[in-house]
C-alpha cells in the first residue's frame, strides 16, 4: 500500500545526501508499489513536479532526480493502485492545486473510499479531481476547509486540519504529506515515521512510511498524530484522537 517520503530542511540539500535514493526502490523492487511514482520539490520559490505511472525503481527520470535534485522541501510518493486499480498519470501522486493564494501538493498512503461521496456532497467544493483516486478527493476536501479559515487570524487552521483529517481517517486509513511551499504537514493515522536533526544550519526533518536507513533514530507517529515542519524544525503538532481511558 503506497509509501510516502518528505523532507524539510534549513537550507537546500542535494538529493544524493538525502534518503530519496533509498526511497526509490520502494517503488516496486523492495516493496509492492509498482503503479507510479512522483516527486514534488521546491525550487526558486515554486514547486516543481515530476511523476510517471510507472515503477519508480526502474525509472531513469526518478534515478536522475535522486542524484541531481537540490531542494529544502520535498514530497515524494510511490503508488500501489487500489482506488481505482488503474495507474494513469492523473492518478499518480503527488497532486498539485492552487488554494489560498499559493500552490499546495499532497500525497496519501491508505484507503478512504467514503471520501468520494463526502466530497461530492460538499457544498463548499473549490476543486475537481483530475483523476479518480480517493486520495485526490481527500486533498480537495482538505483544501475546501482550509480555504474557509487560512487567512482568518482568529482561526486555528491547525486544529481544523487535524479534525478533518481524523474524520476522513474514520472511513479507512489516511496517512498523508501536504505542503504549501513553506510548511511540510504530515499526518500519521497508522503508518508513518519521522527522523529529526535539530538545530543549526543543518536542521533536517525527514518523514517516511517506513524507516529508510538502518542507522536508527526513526520514531513512529502516535496514531492520529499531526506534525508540521518549517525549515527543518517542528513548529506545531497535535494528537487528533482523544487519549484512551
Whole-angstrom Cα distance, residue 39 to residue 37?
7
| CA angle, residues 32, 16, 217, in degrees to nearest 5 | 70
- How does residue 245 score in pLDDT terms, banded at 50, 70 and 90? very low
Mean pLDDT of 213-240: 91
Domain with residue 213: its CATH number is: 3.60.20.10
41 located within any domain: yes
The pLDDT tens digits of the residues spanning 140-172 come to 999 999 988 887 777 788 888 989 999 999 989
Domain that residue 45 falls in: 3-239
Q: What is the pLDDT of residue 243?
A: 54
Nearest CA to 118 out of 164, 81, 161 is that of 164
Please indicate, yes or no, if residue 244 is contained in any of the structural domains. Answer: no
Is residue 159 domain-resident?
A: yes
Report yes or no: 202 and 169 within 8 Å, Cβ to Cβ. no
For residue range 8-62, what is the model confidence (pLDDT) as tens digits? 999 999 999 999 999 999 999 999 999 999 999 999 999 999 999 999 999 999 9
Please tell me what DSSP assigns to residue 244: P
The alpha-carbon radius of gyration of the chain (Å, integer) is: 17
Ranking 78-87, 100-109, 152-161 by mean pLDDT, the lowest is: 152-161
Asked whether residue 245 is assigned to any structural domain, the reply reads no
pLDDT band at 1 (very low <50, low <70, confident <90, very high): confident
215 band by pLDDT with thresholds 50, 70 and 90: low
Beta bridge partner(s), residue 49: 40
Residue 83 lies in a domain: yes
Residue 137 has a CB neighbour count (10 Å cut-off) of: 27
Report yes or no on 60 lying in a domain.
yes
Asked if residue 210 belongs to a domain, the reply is yes
pLDDT, average across residues 201-211: 93
Report the pLDDT averaged over residues 60-73: 98
Number of domains in the chain: 1
Amino acid at each position: 500500500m503506497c509509501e510516502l517520503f518528505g523532507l524539510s530542511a534549513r537550507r537546500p540539500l542535494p538529493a544524493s545526501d538525502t534518503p530519496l535514493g533509498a526511497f526509490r526502490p520502494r517503488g516496486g523492487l523492495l516493496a509492492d508499489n509498482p503503479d507510479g511514482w512522483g516527486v514534488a520539490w521546491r525550487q526558486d520559490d515554486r514547486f516543481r513536479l515530476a511523476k510517471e505511472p510507472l515503477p519508480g525503481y526502474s525509472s531513469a527520470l526518478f534515478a536522475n532526480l535522486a542524484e541531481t535534485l537540490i531542494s529544502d522541501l520535498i514530497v515524494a510518493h510511490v503508488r500501489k493502485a487500489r482506488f481505482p486499480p488503474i495507474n494513469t498519470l492523473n492518478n499518480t501522486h503527488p497532486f498539485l492545486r492552487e488554494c489560498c493564494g499559493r500552490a499546495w501538493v499532497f500525497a496519501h498512503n491508505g484507503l478512504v473510499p467514503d471520501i468520494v461521496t463526502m466530497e461530492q456532497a460538499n457544498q463548499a467544493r473549490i476543486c475537481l479531481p483530475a483523476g479518480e483516486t480517493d486520495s485526490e478527493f481527500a486533498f480537495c476536501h482538505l483544501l475546501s476547509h482550509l480555504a474557509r479559515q487560512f487567512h482568518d487570524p482568529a482561526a486555528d487552521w491547525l486544529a481544523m486540519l487535524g479534525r478533518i483529517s481524523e474524520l476522513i481517517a474514520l472511513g479507512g486509513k489516511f496517512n498523508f504529506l501536504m505542503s504549501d511551499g513553506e510548511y511540510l504537514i504530515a499526518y500519521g493515522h497508522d503508518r508513518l515515521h519521522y527522523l529529526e536533526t535539530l538545530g543549526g544550519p543543518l536542521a533536517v526533518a525527514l518523514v517516511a512510511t517506513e524507516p529508510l536507513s538502518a542507522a536508527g533514530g526513526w520514531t513512529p507517529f502516535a496514531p492520529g498524530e499531526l506534525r508540521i515542519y518549517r525549515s527543518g524544525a517542528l513548529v506545531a503538532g497535535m494528537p487528533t484522537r482523544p487519549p484512551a481511558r
